[in-house]
Amino acid sequence: MAKVEQVTENDWARLRAVRLRALADAPEMFGSNLAREEAFDEAEWRRRAARPVTFLASVDGADVGMTGVFDFDGAWCVMGMWLAPEVRGAGIVDELICACADFVRRAGVDRVTLGVMEDNPRGIRAYERNGFVATGAREHVRDGRDELWMVKDLP
């Protein structure tokens, strides 16, 4: 079982380490790149850590996953989900999604969305297992690939 905690700006170095590891591991799944984010200074990482909410997942004291929830004009969206290869399949994605859903629910919102790359079947299955359904919307992002949009109603 993982420990999932909300990041504060004082956790900026932890967030930086996980995000850079994610970009090195799966650059095709993010809208940024390792070189760009390696150049960010402490102030930028603190700003990112202070955004609406970012969660880190850790196992035995080691940070192994991350995600965030962002408000885009009233539409709350899970973004930046990543798990270290050594913990994939252990259910940590479920814990991160639960943390995101709880945050959105507490904000008084009854729906959360996310985008997942079409060539990420494992991610799609994990989101479906957690109650997300495809909206049918697709967004062409890069490299000839599409991001599929999914939604989850929060009771």
pLDDT in tens, 25-71: 999 888 899 999 999 999 999 999 988 899 999 999 999 999 999 99
Mean pLDDT of the chain, nearest integer = 94
pLDDT at 144: 83
**What topology is assigned to 3-153 in CATH?**
Aminopeptidase (3.40.630)
- 71 vs 1, which has greater pLDDT? 71
The DSSP call for residue 86 is: G
For residue 82, what pLDDT band results from cuts at 50, 70 and 90? very high
Distance CA 56, CA 117 (A): 21
Rounded to an integer, what distance in angstroms lies between the CA atom of residue 57 and that of residue 4?
4
Which residue, among 44, 60, 57, has the nearest Cα to 68 in the 3D structure?
A: 57
Stated as kind and residue range, the H or E segment containing 83 is strand 75-83
- C-alpha 123/C-alpha 149 separation (Å) is 12
- Per-residue pLDDT of 112-141, as tens digits, reads 999 999 999 999 999 999 999 999 999 988
Distance CA 25, CA 34 (A): 10
- Compute the distance between CA of residue 88 and CA of residue 79 in angstroms, rounded to an integer: 17
Residue 20 bridge partners (DSSP): none
Question: pTM for the full model?
Answer: 0.93
Going by their DSSP bridges, the two strands 111-117 and 75-83 should be labelled as parallel
For the chain, what are the domain ranges?
A: 3-153
**What does the CA dihedral 84, 88, 94, 97 come to, rounded to 10 degrees?**
30
